[in-house]
Structure 1
Amino acid sequence: MKKAIALKYDYSTAPTVTAKGSGLLAEKIMEVAKENDVVLHQSPELVEMLSTLELGEEIPETLYLAVAEIIAFAHKIKDHQW
Structure 2
Amino acid sequence: MNRREVPTQSLRRAVALKYDSKENEAPVIAAKGSGKLAERILEKAKEHGIPIQEDAALVEVLSKLDLDQQIPAELYGLVAEILSFIYRSDREMGLKK
TM-score, normalised to structure 1, is 0.95
Deviation at 1:78, TM superposition (A): 1.0
Given the alignment, which residue of 4, 10, 17 partners 1:7? 17
Structure 1 unmatched ranges of 5 or more: none
Q: How many residues align?
A: 82
| Higher RCO, 1 vs 2 (CA within 8 Å, ≥6 residues apart) | 1
More helix by share: 1
Q: Does 1:46 align with 2:54?
A: no
Tell me the amino acid that sits aligned with residue 48 of structure 1: E
- Sequence identity percentage: 45
Q: Does 1:28 align with 2:40?
A: yes
Structure 2 unmatched ranges of 5 or more: 1-10
Aligned residues: CA RMSD = 1.0
Given the alignment, which residue of 49, 70, 73 partners 2:85? 73
TM-score, normalised to structure 2, is 0.81
